[in-house]
């Protein structure tokens, strides 16, 4: 009986390792498929809907810089309406360390550093957290392969991702990777620290740029606990622009408006 018991434990451990390795392989393949974009700028509309169905719209410009051997750098600047115009967010993503983030508030003309303990909070009243704004580096998670299914003729793998950062606002994500379309992410389900489903983000209306880089035309986020929604609608993608490191400093935050 002891021999049988240890055999069962060994098989279970082997299966767990296989699921972890397979999940990691999918995540690495997704990352490798997007390497080399260098930089891009894009315009967005952020459409917020509260639990009563009332909507408000904000216009945003964003730019991203690819960083070798680390996470990407990004700048988000609010252009309209007037009450948020000039507000800007700077993010230095990292592979293993906590992301560095700064928020410029034009009303007080100050740059505020976002502490790691506050990154689960909502960004500018949306259903996105500060944590969501960083690039999704492979090293930020451990993984578990769940299963594969077919969606509109494409193979899609379901992978559970567990944040390494103990201060993450999430206990896990369930991500849906399209294996036949450069491993692009189709949907992510986010679970809160208690393990309850918090929100779902769908990546919609994908387009391919430069013959390689898939980008969604819209991100649709619904919060299942508050019944609030956020839509990010993208336009005017411009790849390999003349964006440099100098565009991502705290001083550039103040100049963004």
Cβ–Cβ under 8 Å, residues 5 and 181:
no
The whole-angstrom separation of Cα 174 and Cα 201 is 10
Our CA angle for 241, 245, 251, nearest 5°, is: 115
250, two tokens: 């705290």
Q: Is the alpha carbon torsion for 143, 149, 151, 153 positive or negative?
A: positive
- The total of structural domains in the chain comes to 1
Instruction: Classify strands 184-192 and 88-92 as parallel, antiparallel or unpaired.
Output: unpaired
The whole-angstrom separation of Cα 232 and Cα 221 is 8
Cβ–Cβ under 8 Å, residues 49 and 229:
yes
- The CATH number linked to 71 is 2.50.20.10
The whole-angstrom separation of Cα 215 and Cα 75 is 17
Residue by residue, pLDDT tens for the chain (257 residues) are: 555 554 544 444 445 558 889 999 999 999 999 999 999 999 999 999 999 999 999 999 999 999 988 999 999 999 999 999 999 999 999 998 889 999 999 988 889 999 988 899 999 999 999 999 999 999 999 999 999 999 999 999 999 999 999 999 999 999 999 999 999 999 999 999 999 999 999 999 999 999 999 999 999 999 999 999 999 999 999 998 889 898 998 888 877 55
Q: Which domain holds residue 122?
A: 5-255
pTM of the predicted model, to two decimals? 0.90
């Amino acid at each position: 009986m002891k021999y049988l018991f240890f055999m069962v434990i060994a098989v279970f451990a082997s299966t767990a390792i296989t699921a972890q390795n397979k999940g990691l392989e999918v995540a690495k393949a997704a990352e490798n498929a997007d390497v080399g974009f260098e930089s891009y700028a894009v315009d967005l509309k952020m459409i917020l809907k509260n639990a009563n169905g009332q909507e408000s719209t904000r216009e945003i410009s964003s730019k991203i810089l690819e960083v070798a051997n680390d996470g990407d750098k990004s700048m988000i600047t609010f252009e309209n309406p007037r009450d948020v115009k000039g507000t800007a967010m700077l993010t230095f993503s990292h592979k293993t360390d906590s992301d560095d983030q700064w928020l410029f508030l034009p009303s007080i003309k100050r740059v505020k550093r976002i502490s790691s303990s506050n990154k689960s909070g909502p960004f500018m009243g949306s259903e996105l957290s500060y944590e969501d704004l960083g690039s999704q580096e492979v090293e930020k998670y451990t993984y578990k392969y769940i299963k594969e299914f077919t969606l509109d003729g494409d193979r899609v793998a379901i992978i559970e991702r567990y944040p390494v950062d103990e201060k993450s606002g999430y206990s896990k994500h369930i991500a849906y990777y399209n294996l036949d379309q450069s491993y692009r992410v189709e949907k992510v389900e986010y679970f809160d620290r208690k393990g309850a489903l918090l929100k779902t983000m769908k990546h919609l209306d994908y387009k391919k740029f430069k013959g390689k880089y898939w980008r969604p035309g819209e991100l649709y986020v619904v919060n299942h606990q508050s019944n609030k929604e956020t839509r990010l609608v993208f336009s005017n993608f411009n790849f390999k622009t003349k964006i440099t490191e100098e565009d991502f400093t705290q001083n550039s935050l103040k100049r963004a408006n």
